[in-house]
Structure 1
Amino acid sequence: MSLPAELSGVFTHKQKSYQMVLIIALLQEMSQTNQREVSLENVKERFLASLQGREEQRKLVDKPINNIPRWADVKMAEITQIINTPISALNNILEVNPQQQTIGFIERLYSTWDQEVLSELYGHAEQELEQYYQRQASDFTIRGALLNVLTKYPEARREPLKNNSLGMYVRQQIPTGIRGYSFIHDDSNLKVKASVGNGVWAAVPWIAIMDRRITESTQNGEYIVYLFAEDMSAVYLTLAQGVTEPKKSGKLEAYKYLRNKVQEIRTMIPLEDLQKDEEIYLTSDGLGADYQVSTVAYYKYNRDNLPTEEQLAADLENLVDNYKQYVHMILQSKDGQENSTMAEAQPHMPNLSTSERLTAVKAYIRQRGFSFPDRLVDNFYLSLKTKPFVILAGVSGTGKTKLVQLFAEAIGATSENGQYTLIPVRPDWSDPSDLIGYKDLSDRFRPGPLTDVLVKASELANRDKPFFVCLDEMNLARVEHYFSDMLSILETQKRREDRIVTDELIRPSSLASEEDRSKYGRLHIPDNVYLIGTVNMDETTHPFSKKVLDRANTIEFNEIKLDEYPSLSTNEVTSHQAPNDFLRSNYLQLVDAYHGATIPTIENTTSELVRINGILESIHSHVGFRIRDAICFYLIYNEQAGLLTNDEAFDFQLLQKILPRIQGSNRSVKRVLLQLLEIALGKRLSKGELEDDASELWSNVAKTIESAKYRHSAQKIVYMLRRLDEDGFTSYWLS
């Protein structure tokens, strides 16, 4: 028999032997007690005894932590720190009861297994442990091989290629060494080949693992390959495609095919823990550039910070497992056995550039009878990519909610497939339970409308699909009251392997039943959920605090063109399912983006913000690192997509991130607005006179802003000055 799915890959990601030793110790204790939950202390004793036993027999064994020289010197008190690591790594199948000090398999899983499953798991753990130590005893290691190439290749390239010792090592010894790993050796279909060039040294040497049933050459098909950066600063373990055959139809067509295939494969297999983006960098031209386009997913290893041998082997095994799944699907398809429902569940995602996809989005919106300025759609996209929380403000009836719905529909997210959800906010919402959920009188958790979306978006099959939540009339209730938990959790975003996650939204300890804890206890805000609030700013609504404004881009709908008419075109514009990478943020902190071509953008933007912050300090409205980072990310994403000019992009950020913070009735506020207007116009003003009477600015707005550097911001500032002159008070929301 084969192990259940939850156990089949249980040792894929391992740093040391501890996971296998823990499972063996647990199963031994369970066989003695015939109980699912057993004494954690007894398991620790067995765990330590196993490692001490290997040491006494002079067998290979992982060294203890904290510089303890021998397992014989490890005390039981120190085992807790050691054993917590494998317990945490196996938390998808194990659970610990801290009150009872017991450990066991999760009950809902254990209840579906019989004794045969436990026996097979025991044998599997012992076999994995033995293979692990065999690899430890071998002279060959992946780490040693990669380091050898990374350090010696630059010097070797200065020598003739023929009979070069490093060249022969790469072509002969590395493939032989990799074949020795059980997950390669045990599959007769896998072929290992390496190259440093043909006649002359390759700029990008490689080591490939191919399944003979779909390809025996790196010129076509799909395979696993280690690709070394030309400067030998890093090596990438990738799932990639052959580029030689596709390029015979022309480079443009080849790149289009390869990019399309990348998106297709990403929807077919999990590729968990791997990076799935276009950040791989090998070389600026030639085959290296082709390899970059053809890469589906990858691990990156920097030469100066190579992981341990255990981690490198675990990463390769994980990618081999994914590759086998892909090959299985391809062979099924060739045999005509592919299930049509699978094809529906994995929709084709055309490989479009960002600008091409946004052009399609705009065409879709126009055909549905709505007209928004092109720059508004671009701005909306960039705002979502910068931070997955956007506020759309404006008078009623300007199409705020419709923009969200149609934008979502245009990239395949509809209410029918559950990827678009409209949540009307009620005036009586006073705490997060209205949105997230609550416990009823029977102590069962009743999820709120947002929680249902988060659960669906977190499902494995949906992780690469964007989910949109539109909070309609968001400020009918006080946002800080019902949305406070979400605002705080959004600030805990962190990168975990290839995904962005947050802290838990609902504490498991607050849930009474095992079913609720299983479904909601580890729920976080996944990186494929985008929150958009629509607001009307009038006397019936609540204003926003700086806490809210700091965390969102606020886009105003003020330019209304009533003489825009629906398109009469009969050409049907269909929606195109977009992968989540289209919208997902690439950066969480400025350090993530501060490299290469982005450095000038970051430094120029920050310089302008420093100038603006100096003005804002006088009224205590200056901004912090959160806003600086968000504005820099917005401008970087804009440059990468080629949507707006740098001035247009900064204009939107000045308008949306800086000006909403300004309000007041005193002369200091007016002085600040005039200084900001000078920046927006790109010229000096007679501020002394204008502080007394600014009517010459707003009496002819078009003339005032006709050559402005930041046109939208200049116009808004003029309106704010007018309100200050006429009403004695101004804010961003009064216009």
Structure 2
Amino acid sequence: MSLPVELSSIFRSKQKSYKMVLVLAMIETWQETHDKMLELDDVARRFLTYYQYRETQNLVVDPPPPKVTDRWEFMNIPQVKSLLETPIEALRSIVVKQSGGAFLTFADSVWSQGEEVLSELQNYANRELDLYHSQLGSKQGSGFSLKESLDRILHTYHEAKSEPFANHPLGALFRRKLPEQLRSLPFVSEHIRIQGSVGKGNWAGVPWIALMDTRITKSTQYGEYVVYLFAEDMSAVYLTFNQGVTKPKTDLGKREGYAFLEQKVIELRESLDFEGFSTDEDIHLTSAGLGRDYQVSTAAYTRYDASNIPSDDQLIADLEQLMTTYKEYVDRKLQTDQVDDPEYPVETAEEIMDDEVVRERLDSIKTYIKHKGFAYPPGLIENFYLSLKTKPFVILAGVSGTGKTKLIKLFAEAMGATAQNGQFTLIPVRPDWSDPSDLIGYSDLSGKFRPGRVTEVLLEASQNSSKPYFICLDEMNLARVEHYFSDILSILETQEWKDGRITTAPIIHGNSLVQDEDQAVYGNLSIPENVYLIGTVNMDETTHPFSKKVLDRANTIEFNDIFLAQFPDEDPDSELSPEPTSNQFLRSDYLQLVDAYHAESKALITKTTDVLVQINRILEEIHAHVGFRIRDAVCFYMLYNERFGLFSEEEAFDHQLLQKILPRIQGSSTSIRRVLLNLMRECVGSSFIVNDYMEDVALLFEGRKLSDLLNQAKYPLSARKIASMLRRLEEDGFTSYWLS
């Protein structure tokens, strides 16, 4: 026999075990008296006996209300009757009558089905209680306390914001511990994805923990979900039934997006039961931009003040009640085919930004590359990753045969980006390229737009924003880079934040296209944030040098070390599958220094800038000093490295000195020699006397002098390159970073 709907529904949102025990107490009272009018005192007595018995037998049991007493043995009947007001009110099939006393009874629809339904209800309640106590015992044994976690966040977050973001324990609490603990709750189904965020590289003003049903939404940027939102001043945390704001605002504009969300709130409040939760706009999280977003997107909420966080039982009961309402909403959408699941990035940013996850992901990429039979110098993959994350344009330089193109292909392939799925594109550069038409496209004589290879990639990437797309310009300096690539370089400089995404000015303006169909497809196409441009270069008599415009915008990674003694794995047939990776793994978090300049990053930015100021004084003699663009890029690289812990601080700056500063130096004058020697002093320390080598640089290469200097160098990679450039200057009368 199935239970009546009104009875089965009473178990959907339990407040502790009170409702189930109340039902049992009522049935037992009726079994003894056979009177449909059940005296409240008798029901309360049986209710109390149940808990006192479990308590004396040391069985798992819900505690009594903490404001009343800490043990059931000290409770009395008046206190129990007061306690029963809430579960009585929650059980809508029960009414209270005042006629010669206080009485309880089931609704007429229950009595009309006879005694069998009460027997079935009694069995059902006992089964539910057994399951409930089993789950309660597991929870109590796990040491999980939601109250303790919320208290810790509310009382330590302000202090944490003045501390380094990377590796902070609060980050681990949000990203791993709390999601794992919430996942263990019995009412959290396998469809629920739990994600916490304290910010992307910097502390968030309003941190959050969201529970999303992946059948209707995989991102907090769209759709509906349950989320804990912490007030910026940490005065409270709100448990809310909320909506994603980013996608509606992006698709409809801010004004229309807000109107859409406000209408959705009205529909949710009218169609769902939010009993016990507030359904007004009186939610206060922050005084700035996000405040309005949260106010218009919240359908229901309950507020927990920092000074009075409820018990674990109440917190979990509230969460279960809201999750039950959420499940009903999801089921309704699935049944009516109203699911709108757009191609939108799954927000794994916080998981990926975690230092351990980044290192693990890089290790798997290196393992994949090694499995394919290729070996690269230590630290190269980490350096390549940091360079791409700093700016999506990197140049790989080196002698032919070192595997530059293969590195790009395998790095992309390890992330699930291949030529077959369109996420990796190899474009061999032709010596006759003199304009951007081969890359961007052109309009033919009929006015029809013929897209170039880069435009085709940009279009596809803009439609799949969660996936990274790699463009490899092979031997990019066979033609003059400034002639065919300058438009793209200029557009890259227009990057800015818009609704949480990186956008650029259009690479193709709609009004430059003649045909309407071309305007619809390519009009105002920009460079999406998920496109990464990597060029390979060889420097010989067939190639062209780079201008400072190109060098300023790229990290130039040179590797000439070849490990011929490296061999493939002995089991070449074994499969090692790529791991498809979200674009968030590579996407930049900073575009301007203001994006990164916070209390926890200020010290490293200041220290890095001080070193660059000293280097600029040296470079000014040959007019090769750097500007704000390079300062910002170097600082970003250093901040990413600190966050992920890939290199020591000195190793990271060594890479930047080698990749951003030295490529700017070339010439044959005495000034070039003096600049290189002064830079050598910066690399190896104050014991290096520049004047000792101004007249005869050859002295530097006598005996073990250079080896000893490199062994003590603060920046050994840069020192070795400077020595190579000095040797070339001594032997040929001219030197350049690009001559080896």
Q: TM-score with structure 2 length normalisation?
A: 0.59
Instruction: Tell which structure's C-alpha radius of gyration is larger.
Output: 2
Residue of 669, 673, 681 corresponding to 1:670: 673
- 1:585 — aligned with what? 588
Match of 1:491 in 2: 493
Partner of 1:362: 366
- Do structure 1's residue 435 and structure 2's residue 439 form an aligned pair? yes
CA distance in 2, matches of 1:597, 1:561: 40
Residue of structure 1 aligned with 2:710, choices 705, 708, 721: 705
Pair 1:595-2:598 in alignment: yes
What secondary structure, in the 3-state scheme, does the structure 1 residue paired with 2:439 have? helix
Contact 1:508 1:517 in 2 (8 A): yes
Aligned length: 490
1:573 maps to which residue? 576
- Matches of 1:239 and 1:706, distance apart in 2: 41
- The Cα of 1:256 is off from its aligned counterpart by 11
Distance 1:672 1:414, change over 3 A: same
How far has the Cα of 1:468 moved from its partner?
A: 0.4
Q: Is the 8 A contact 2:622 2:671 kept in 1?
A: yes
Please give the alpha-carbon distance, in whole angstroms, between the structure 2 residues aligned to 1:481 and 1:244.
57
1:486 counterpart letter in structure 2:
I
SS class of match (1:555): strand
1:406-555 paired onto structure 2 within 5 Å: 406-459=410-463, 462-555=464-557
1:302-356 deviation line (CA, Å, top 9, x unaligned): 74435685x555454899xxx99x9799649999x999x999x999999771000
C-alpha distance 408-338 of structure 1, shift in aligned 2 (>3 A):
farther
Q: Is the 8 A contact 1:220 1:246 kept in 2?
A: no
Change (3 A) 1:660 1:425: same
Match of 1:722 in 2: 727
State the 1:265 CA deviation.
5.2
CA distance in 1: counterparts of 2:628 and 2:348, whole angstroms: 40
Contact kept? 2:233, 2:286, Cα under 8 Å: no
Letter in 2 for 1:497: D
Distance (whole Å) between structure 2 residues aligned to residue 360 and residue 328 of structure 1: 40
Measured in 2, the distance between the counterparts of 1:669 and 1:447 equals 44
Q: Name the aligned partner's letter for residue 718 of structure 2.
A: S
The CA distance in 2 between the partners of 1:613 and 1:499, in whole Å, is 33
Are residues 282 and 466 of structure 1, via their aligned partners in 2, closer, same or farther at CA, if it must alter by over 3 Å? farther
Separation of aligned partners in 2, 1:262 and 1:428: 55
Q: Identity percentage over the alignment?
A: 50
Distance 1:566 1:511 in 2: 51
Secondary structure at the residue paired with 1:441?
coil
Counterpart contact for 1:470–1:534, Cα < 8 Å: yes
Q: Secondary structure at the match of 1:504?
A: coil
1:195-344 correspondence runs (5 A)? 244-246=181-183, 258=195, 268-269=217-218, 272=221, 303-305=286-288, 312-316=294-298, 331=331
8 Å CA contact 2:243–2:297 kept in 1: the answer is no
CA distance in 2, matches of 1:480, 1:302: 49
Which letter maps to 1:707? Q
CA contact under 8 A between 2:175 and 2:196: conserved in structure 1?
no
Corresponding residue for residue 103 of structure 2: none
1:361 is paired with a residue whose SS is helix
- Deviations for 1:5-32, whole angstroms, at most 9, x for unmatched residues? xxxxxxxxxxxxxxxxxxxxxxxxxxxx
Seen in structure 2, the aligned counterparts of structure 1 residues 269 and 307 have a Cα distance that, compared at 3 Å, is: closer
Tell me by how many angstroms 1:567 deviates.
2.3
Q: Distance in 2 between matches of 1:281 and 1:596?
A: 20
**Distance in 2, Cα, partners of 1:263 & 1:733:** 52
CA deviation map 1:598-651 (0-9, x unaligned): 111111111111111111111111000000000000010011111111111000
Distance 1:242 1:609, change over 3 A: closer
What is the aligned partner in structure 1 of residue 562 from structure 2? 560
Distance 1:638 1:346, change over 3 A: closer
| TM-score (ref. length: structure 1) | 0.59
Q: After TM superposition, give the deviation of residue 696 of structure 1 in Å.
A: 3.1
Bigger shift: 376-385 or 662-671? 662-671
Secondary structure of the equivalent of 2:535?
A: strand
Letter in 1 for 2:288: N
| Distance in structure 1 (CA, Å) of the matches to 2:738 and 2:607 | 29
Aligned ranges 1:7-46 → 2 under 5 Å: none
Partner of 1:681: 684
Cα distance in structure 2, aligned partners of 1:615 and 1:403: 35
Q: Does structure 2 conserve the Cα–Cα contact (< 8 Å) formed by 1:401 and 1:470?
A: yes
2:608 is matched with 605
CA drift at 1:596: 2.8
- Contact 1:457 1:528 (8 Å CA) reproduced: yes
Residue 628 (structure 1) aligns with = 631
Aligned: 1:645 with 2:648? yes
Partner of 1:692: 695
* Deviation by residue 1:167-193 (Cα, 9 ceiling, x = unmatched): xxxxxxxxxxxxxxxxxxxxxxxxxxx
- Partners of 1:643 and 1:478 lie apart in 2 by 35
Secondary structure at 2:712 match in 1: coil
Distance 1:504 1:654 in 2: 33
What is the CA-CA distance between 1:385 and the residue it aligns to?
A: 0.1
Alpha-carbon offset, residue 387 of structure 1: 0.1
- Give the letter aligned to residue 449 of structure 1: R
Say if 1:501 and 1:526, in contact at 8 Å, map to a contact too.
yes
Residue 382 of structure 1 pairs with residue 365 of structure 2: no
In 1, distance between residues paired with 2:419 and 2:643? 31
Deviations along 1:135-184, whole A, 9 cap, x unmatched?
Answer: xxxxxxxxxxxxxxxxxxxxxxxxx999xxxxxxxxxxxxxxxxxxxxxx
Q: SS at the partner of 1:353?
A: helix
Kindly indicate whether the alpha-carbon contact (under 8 Å) linking 1:367 and 1:569 is maintained by their aligned counterparts in 2. Answer: no
In 1, Cα distance between equivalents of 2:327 and 2:526: 33
Q: Check 1:584–1:265 CA distance in 2 against 1; reply closer, same or farther (3 A cut).
A: farther
Q: CA deviation at 1:507?
A: 1.2
Secondary structure at the residue paired with 1:465?
A: coil
Give 5+ residue unaligned stretches, structure 2.
Answer: 1-65, 69-143, 162-173, 187-191, 198-209, 224-228, 247-282, 302-322
1:673–1:304 Cα change, 3 Å = same
Q: Call closer, same or farther: CA 1:263–1:433 in 2, change over 3 Å.
A: farther
Q: Cα 1:529–1:591, aligned 2, differ >3 Å: closer, same or farther?
A: same
The 10-residue stretch of structure 1 (630-639 or 676-685) with the greater mean CA deviation from structure 2: 676-685
Give the Cα separation in 2 of the matches to 1:672 and 1:656.
Answer: 17
Please report the RMSD computed on the Cα atoms of aligned residues, expressed in angstroms.
4.6
Q: How many angstroms apart in 2 are the aligned matches of 1:364 and 1:256? A: 28
CA contact (8 A) 1:267 1:464 kept: no
Offset at 1:296? 12
For residue 559 of structure 1, what is the amino acid of its counterpart? D
CA contact (8 A) 1:424 1:473 kept: yes
Unmatched tracts of structure 1, length 5 or more: 1-159, 163-218, 250-254, 275-279
- Write the distance in 1 (CA, Å) between the matches of 2:347 and 2:609: 41
Q: Which of 260-269 and 572-581 deviates more?
A: 260-269
Distance 1:656 1:347, change over 3 A: closer
Report if the CA contact (8 A) 1:549-1:660 is conserved. yes
2:416, 2:578 within 8 Å by CA — same for their partners in 1?
A: yes
Looking at structure 1, the residues matched to 359 and 476 of structure 2 have their Cα atoms a distance apart, in angstroms, of: 30
What is the rounded CA distance, in whole Å, between the counterparts of 2:645 and 2:212 in structure 1?
21
Cα deviation 1:627-679 (Å, max 9, x = unaligned): 00000000100111111111110000000000001111111111111111011
* Counterpart for residue 615 of structure 1: 618
Where in structure 1 do 4 or more consecutive aligned residues deviate above 4 Å? 227-234, 238-244, 255-274, 280-285, 295-302, 306-309, 311-319, 326-335, 345-352
Cα distance in structure 1, aligned partners of 2:716 and 2:681 = 12
